[in-house]
Amino acid sequence: MIKMNNERPVNDMTNKKTKFRMSDERRKILLVEDEIINQELMKESLSGIYDLIVTETGEEAMDVVNEQHQTLSVVILDLNLPGISGIEVLKRIKESPVLSQLPVIVMTSDDNAEVECLTLGAIDFIPKPYPATEVIRARIRRIIELSENRDILRFTERDHLTGLYNKEFFYRYVAQLDLYNSDAPADAIIFDINHFRMINERYGKDKGDKILKLVAQKALAIENEAGGIFCRSGPDTFMYYCPHLSDYESVLESLSVSVSDGERDENRIRMRMGVYSDVDKTLDIERRFDCAKMASDAVKGNLTHPIGFYDRSMRESEILAEQLIDDFRDAIREKQFAVFYQPKFNIRPDNPVLCSAEALVRWKHPKLGMISPGVFIPLFEENGLIEQLDHYVWSQAARQITVWKEKLNISLPVSVNVSRIDLYDPELESKLLKIAEEEHLNSGELMLEITESAYSEDQDQIVKKVTRLRELGFKIEMDDFGSGYSSLSMLSYMPIDALKLDMQFIRSAFKGRMDTRLLEAMIRIAEAFEVPTIAEGVETEEQVTALKRMGCDIIQGYYFSRPLPADEFEAFVREKTK
């Protein structure tokens, strides 16, 4: 039987209307007690202050708790009940993720039950026979205050969707864990859900939220088993700080969830994991997780090896990257970047004929020596510095064409590399035209190599841009063709003047047992689109002969020459044209 006690002080409602403050609201208490005399005693102590709901059995109590847990402040629970026992009610409340935050005060005359109840999660204990009314009131008031403060803290320190800590509080608790466990080795781990945006788009946001909640539930289970703490650090990323582990695969496995309720493998959400194992505790906590992030980024897109480990070489390359970015400005000012030139030969005639050159940048770093573009170009592409560097290289190359015209009496077109970022520069055309004009070049003398991967993004815009550049007279070579970013169908609407095959085709065609079928097919494709093919990375006579037989038009590679500084290139040309 459920009874509601509605006795209120007369002025109660007026107070409510005027103040509307949480501190003035009457709290609701559930009393679970089957003995009438005890019910009456408690009512006398509490009903002037609280709204009291009284139930006489454990089953009724669970019904009320399930329906009203959000507005209940405390449950006062007798242990001796008809039907399910008070201990069982306590267990059910504390084991439920939804109800477990509800404070439960246990009443019993059995002293021995005290420890068991507190272990099960009871917040306090009222002995029978009851203490004085003031004592009961004071204890209940204190419990409500404590739990409300805790709820407020919970609200601010937790991510609302998943209930895991948010990043800010997580870092604080990690610092505390370190204080208590200063000598114990620890790991900083990051989990990223692959393609979460696609999951949201394909299955809807609700499903996406559900997946995140499921991951969080599994995270809590891992916390329980292995220790440590989790947080949700971003929309689809989680951090975990824990005692040093040995089996990372099983942790990743334990966290993995499925899109559908079934466990079918194709519906599994793929996650990757970055581990900074046995962290250096002198690093600040954010840095430790930066390291884990780097490890996770290193396995991005790698479906067979989804766990990356942070190692010293990552740290070293990160330090190098920072230094190179810092040094960039001085390097431009002090002309530390040198442009090298590598010849391209037309192999259609009986004897190969020098037909152009590619400008390739190197960095003569005052402290680090010669640095290859493979090291700094990707870095500068990431932070946009590439635009400035490319502009510098284009100007140098344009100057060089003029110098060779004057010195060698030849007009040798030079191709320059145009980065993906450059294509988004609205002033790209005018910058290139200005460079060509300054050296009185016709635009065909400065050729542009655009890497295939640039074409895979925002195709419409790139096609427009490249079309405009061609209309202005610049010749376009698609660099690294076949490296896997674009589809073949793209060729039918992509404006280009030459296809430069990715070096990998040459490598695999001539590696071990020669198999040139793919290489030949690529050359046939270029023929079908009526554009010449350029093969780069050609190193041996055997390769030249085979490529010529296959119908390749132009060759660039160590077979003819490595990229050379301008003066050496000049000597090379003199030698070839003697």
Q: Would you tell me which residues interact with ligand C2E (CB under 6 A)? A: 342, 360-361, 372-374, 377, 386, 390, 393, 417, 419, 449, 451, 479-480, 536-539, 556-558, 563
- If contact means CB under 5 to 8 A according to the sort of partner, which of ligand C2E, Mg ion, none does residue 529 touch? none
CA angle at residue 160 from 157 to 161, to 5 degrees? 140
Listed ranges 168-176, 336-344, 474-482, 563-571: which one lies at the site for Mg ion (CB under 5 A): 474-482
Question: Is there binding between residue 33 and Mg ion (CB under 5 A)?
Answer: no
Burial of 38 (0-12, 13-18, 19+ CB in 10 A): middle
Applying the rule CB under 5 A, the residues between 447 and 466 that interact with Mg ion are 449
In the bound complex, which residue of the shown chain has the CB atom lying closest to Mg ion?
449
- If contact means CB under 5 to 8 A according to the sort of partner, which of ligand C2E, Mg ion, none does residue 377 touch? ligand C2E
The dihedral through the CA atoms of 556, 562, 563, 568 has a sign that is negative
- If contact means CB under 5 to 8 A according to the sort of partner, which of ligand C2E, Mg ion, none does residue 386 touch? ligand C2E
Q: Site for Mg ion (CB under 5 A): which residue of 480, 481, 499, 547?
A: 480
Q: How far is the CB of 545 from ligand C2E (least distance, A)?
A: 16
H or E stretch including 36? helix 36-46
Question: Is there binding between residue 162 and Mg ion (CB under 5 A)?
Answer: no
Q: Please state whether beta strands 414-418 and 369-371 pair in parallel, antiparallel, or not at all (unpaired).
A: unpaired
Q: Which is nearer to Mg ion, 215 or 522 (CB)?
A: 522
Q: Which is nearer to Mg ion, 56 or 449 (CB)?
A: 449
**Which H, E and C letters describe 135-188, residue by residue?**
HHHHHHHHHHHHHHHHHHHHHHHECCCCCCECHHHHHHHHHHHHHHCCCCCEEE
Q: Which amino acid is at 408?
A: L
Q: How far is the CB of 447 from ligand C2E (least distance, A)?
A: 12
Listed ranges 57-65, 71-79, 387-395, 443-451: which one lies at the site for Mg ion (CB under 5 A): 443-451
C-beta of residue 459 within 8 angstroms of C-beta of residue 515:
no
Token pair of 473 as six digits: 């007279």
Q: Which amino acid is at 251?
A: V
Q: How far is the CB of 436 from ligand C2E (least distance, A)?
A: 17
Token pair of 220 as six digits: 């809590």
Q: How far apart are CA 61 and CA 76, in angstroms?
A: 10
Q: How far apart are CA 466 and CA 247, in angstroms?
A: 51
Question: Is there binding between residue 417 and Mg ion (CB under 5 A)?
Answer: yes
CA distance readout (Å), 423 to 394, 431, 476, 490: 14, 12, 13, 18
Q: How far is the CB of 339 from ligand C2E (least distance, A)?
A: 7
Q: Which is nearer to ligand C2E, 231 or 538 (CB)?
A: 538
Q: How far is the CB of 386 from ligand C2E (least distance, A)?
A: 6
Q: Which is nearer to ligand C2E, 107 or 361 (CB)?
A: 361
Q: What residues line the site for Mg ion (CB under 5 A)?
A: 417, 449, 479-480
